[in-house]
Amino acid sequence: MNIVMAGTVAMDDIKTPYGERIGIIGGSASHFSTAASFLAPTSIIGIVGKDYPARYIQYLRKKGVDTSGIVQSKDQISFYWKGFYENDMNVAHTNDTILGVLSSFNPVLDEEKKNADFLFLGNIDPVIQMKVYRQMKKPVFVGMDTMNFWISSRKNELLAMIKKVDALFINDGELRQLSGEVNLIKAAGMIRKKGPKMVVVKKGEHGVLINGILGTEEFLFFTPAYPTMMVKDPTGAGDSFAGGFVSYLHRVHTQNNGKPIGLADIRHAAVWATATASISVEGFATSRFDKITAKDIRERCDFLYQYTKFEPMPE
């Protein structure tokens, strides 16, 4: 059964020190589903405008993505983000954001999608996230992402949504904003106590921190970022990370016939996601994923396993 992913299917204008691209494929759902495609199929719940290129829908289908849940408006334009990066590639600068069809998006799921085991809610309006969640029957795993705009403008709705999920994916700046706490370990613990079983803190080039609980046992897990030598376009790296993470857990769940996910599975998912995201930033949009296989991601995982392992300190 596919992962259901509700998010944006968009177009981007992006400029970085390595070049400029106009009208390329973008949006959280596009990045997530493309990254997930190496391990699991995804069904997108989203909306595009009358101007959205058919070739991008065809591109997603070739990746094995189910696009039947993408609605196309006949009179509105697509969601569009225009931005740039300078020397600090961790900081995105926005020139313009055109909401377009997102302002009237009312998601409706068919019966197959309602019965999916895995649901991921991209960083869209938490009111829309809740509409999708309430249509699901009995998902085994629910993950969500968010962003600073929703933290500022829809905090109450966001906190209500956070209570429903198994994992919240959030970057370090957003976590500090949401919690009001500077220390990330404390902040992740504070937010986890509001509902999610895991808070997955994306720290860009500084790796990832997970604060979680399995049963009654709390845990912390850290992994560094893969030391890539080329960062051409960081747009969608967080969504690619989430796609890698959730697809890994989906594969474990499928192969183990529904056996509960364990701590080792979560750790391996974080490493796989880290390796996946490190590849995504090496090209504009999703282009790097067109030139690799799952074996390439696994090789980066092996590198992380090898170079983060060390012997105990001698007495």
Check residue 88 and give its pLDDT.
87
Checking if the pLDDT of 184 tops 90, the result is: yes
Identity of residue 264: A
Check residue 165 and give its pLDDT.
97
- Find the mean pLDDT for residues 122-147: 96
Check residue 136 and give its pLDDT.
98
Structure tokens at 128: 């829309």
Q: 171 falls in which pLDDT band (50, 70, 90)? A: very high
Report helix, strand or coil for 30.
helix
For the sheet with 118-121, list strands across it. 70-72, 42-48, 3-6, 118-121, 141-145, 167-171, 198-202, 208-214, 217-223
pLDDT digits (tens, 9 = 90+) for 35-86: 999 999 999 999 999 999 999 999 999 999 999 999 999 999 999 999 999 9
* Domain assignments of the chain as residue spans, ordered by start: 3-307
Checking if the pLDDT of 313 tops 90, the result is: no
Q: Looking at the whole model, is its pTM more than 0.85?
A: yes
- Of 298, 282, 293, give the one whose Cα is nearest residue 227: 282
Q: Whole-angstrom Cα distance, residue 17 to residue 191? A: 36
Q: Which one-letter DSSP state was computed for residue 102? A: G
pLDDT digits (tens, 9 = 90+) for 107-129: 999 999 999 999 999 999 999 99
pLDDT digits (tens, 9 = 90+) for 211-247: 999 988 999 999 999 999 999 999 999 999 999 999 9
Q: Whole-angstrom Cα distance, residue 161 to residue 303? A: 36
**H helices within 43-195, ranges in order?**
54-62, 111-114, 126-133, 148-153, 155-162, 172-179, 184-192
Max CA distance (Å), the chain: 72
Whole-Å CA distances, 276 to 40, 204, 312: 14, 13, 29
- The class level of CATH for 3-307 reads alpha beta
Check residue 89 and give its pLDDT.
87
pLDDT digits (tens, 9 = 90+) for 249-302: 999 999 998 888 999 999 999 999 999 999 999 999 999 999 999 999 999 999
Check residue 90 and give its pLDDT.
84
78 neighbors 103 (Cβ within 8 angstroms): no
